[in-house]
Amino acid sequence: DISYQEEHKDHSTASQARLQLMLQFIHLNYSRSISLDDIAKQAMVSKSTALNLFRKYLQPEILKERTGKEFFG
């Protein structure tokens, strides 16, 4: 069904835009102590949604390997 595909595409685009906002916030504030709540607020999502976006689009184990930090527990 084309309407489902379009709706799914729009949702995916919005999710990726939110993820980009969160990553930009992390990049700009990396030297500070920031919380998941701070990050989620930047994208206007809940903490659980923020975590789900990170897990869906990023590979937490690669981030830990490259930075030495665990981000998503």
The predicted model gives 16-32 an average pLDDT of 92
**What pTM, to 2 d.p., does this model score?**
0.69
User: Does pLDDT of 9 surpass 80?
Assistant: no
Residue 55, pLDDT score:
85
pLDDT of residue 2: 59
Q: What is the mean pLDDT of the chain?
A: 82
36 CB-near residues (< 8 Å, 6+ apart): 47, 50, 51
| Res 8 pLDDT > 60 | no
How wide is the angle at C-alpha 55 spanned by C-alphas 17 and 15, nearest 5°?
20
